[in-house]
Chains A and B, each alone.
Chain A
Amino acid sequence: MIELHQISECVWEIPKTGKMLVPGRIFASAKLIHDIRKDKSLEQVMNVATLPGIQKYSIAMPDIHWGYGFPIGGVAAMDVETGVISPGGIGFDINCGIRLLKTPLTVDKVKNKMKEIVAVLFNNIPCGVGSEGVAKCSTKDLQNIVKKGAAWAIENSYGLPSDIDHIEENGCLTQASLEFVSDRAIKRGALQLGSLGSGNHFLEVGVIDKIYNSKVAEAFGLFQNQITIMIHSGSRGFGHQICTDFLDKMQTALKKYEIYVPDRQLACTPLASDEAHEYLSSMAAAANFAWTNRQVMMHKTREVFESVLGVSQHEMQLLYDVCHNIAKFETYEIDGVQKKLCVHRKGATRAFGPNVQETPEKYRHVGQPVIVPGDMGRSSFVLVGTEKAMNQSFGSSCHGAGRQLSRREAVKQAKGRAIYRELEDKGVYVLSKGRHTLAEEMPQAYKDVETVVDSMDIEGLTYKVARIRPLGCIKG
């Protein structure tokens, strides 16, 4: 059994052993740790701790679970001079992320129309295996999408100009380029702009049923009984192909730069190398595609709400869009010195505290909104970043509930049950494309997200602002 030392109520440390360069640090309650021990995720935390240039800790969030290479819920910050970039530490779905759209509507205005809303959303927003997007684009379009990110969508009438101010990095990483992106990735991307995809991606209509912090909720424009929409998706086949291509290149880089990794999925290259430059510009291209993808789907969602409920598109404002599979260059204090680091977040959300320049001006006095989806049957949360997260977790928080059942086990446990009916009995209308999707994604397949966000709250890395109860959901 992996040795774990409890540092405080929700902080645990794996001591530095073997080839680990830093200790592991897990933010989770004792109950969550008991479950986390059941899979190989802690071993993966230790593997990440061996990567060259890693600073302070190999970190895991309370929603940590067994991934490939990095654990899902992992954070690793690398020194830009001595460290590496690992495409597996960002994942295949580059800039998989989530956004929350606010409406002026309250639950009493929509509860009798939920079935219709879900059906119209399902018909208007492509989802499912290999689904083609609503906004097919040419290679020329893709060049502009990569260059401009979400702004491309707004220029092409998919959204409001103000949306840009409410997206991490304003929806565009400036180092993005198609120069090192394969034709295969371009082909996959061109087909899929404006589509949810499958797996755990979703679009969910919900209602705020609890406000924890009225001052922050007010700053975020959130109120009791408010109808909201969450959109969770990423860079689709474009990002997947970029990661696949660069994982292959990194296998060669391991030999070239004589880097040892305990798992080939962690294959990496020095941040100062040409290979890193090529990957980072391509990763940024996929990130910009993902922001555009979510922007296009949000526009379609606004159209649906306008047509079904008569609410003006301008009245539906974006709270924020966060990415949870990404590498970012950020500056943190290490041993009393300000250092530029490359922060890998694989299933973790940036959670900047108050008075940080990167946070939108209207939220800067309270901190960055952090959106944490739960499951289809229970709840999701809006949190706010804190100063403590900047010191303890490289400005990071959790990204979801985290799976507790494998997809196979979930399907087994769902056998003979009508999950859609169980959800409908709870007042949640769900439509999905895939035969096993609802079983694989049923609420019991996930940890209770409230226990996850509470672990962060107890340690003061993020604070709860509002809870959202699901009303309707579409899935691939």
Chain B
Amino acid sequence: MNKRSLRTGLLFISPWIVGFVVFTAYPVFASLYYSLTDYSMIGTPRFVGLQNYVNLFSDKVFLTSLANTLYMVVIGLSFITVSTVTIAILLNNRRIKGLSFFRVVFFLPTLVPTVVLSVLWIWILEPDTGLINSILHLFGIPGPGWLASPAWAKPSFILMALWGAGNMIIIYLAGLQDISPALYEAASLDGANAWQKAVHITVPMLRPVIVFNVITGLIGTFQSFAEAFIMTNGGPNNATLFYSLYLYENAFQYFKIGYASAMAWILLIIVLGCTVLLLKFSHQLRPE
């Protein structure tokens, strides 16, 4: 019985097994192997030990790309998380009418294909004739150079990411709707105000959802490539040279397959490490 069910089960999942071996497990280990070699796709890989890793940590451009990406994770993701949770809390008010309307509005931008998003935002952020600076101009405020300015380029990307973060709002909203109204009613009876309710009920109850979104967001941020590739190609002054963009340049523009693979493995370690830390940290915050 057991054996038979094992066979049936494995048969059903056999496409996944094949896919896992060929498209996941093999590439992950191949990438580890390449990371220990000097390889340019022509000829055979030459084993160089840990040299690529050593070189990476003395490569200022690599460190810049890492710092840029960490900026997007720490500042960008925090900003986006606080903003989206706040919007979701505002929406999760039984007295607000037109909930489904708002939900649609916030969700729509996530449907815009990345390339169109990039074209559109180049044009929104255009310093002279762009949307944002034109609106600021109406109020007599001189807008910054956005993508043209090393200081404002990353905030530009954060703003763009917030516009496309509607799915996070939807997920938070669903999480909020799962919180039992009885908790709030009890708190009201105890005289808690809206702020106290948010801090002591909403956020702790929403914790698993927040952790989920932050982990997904973290992985997404480390993988983020297309927008910077299309909009700024890493400039100005390498301000938007993000991790994945530099990895792509090394692999497909400089043909440094080994070097790029070492970057890929460092990326994997960072993502795994952050995820484990986040899960641990969030368990400590678990409400009693």
Q: Do A and B bind each other?
A: no
Chain A residues within 8 Å of B, Cβ to Cβ? none
Chain B residues within 8 Å of A, Cβ to Cβ? none
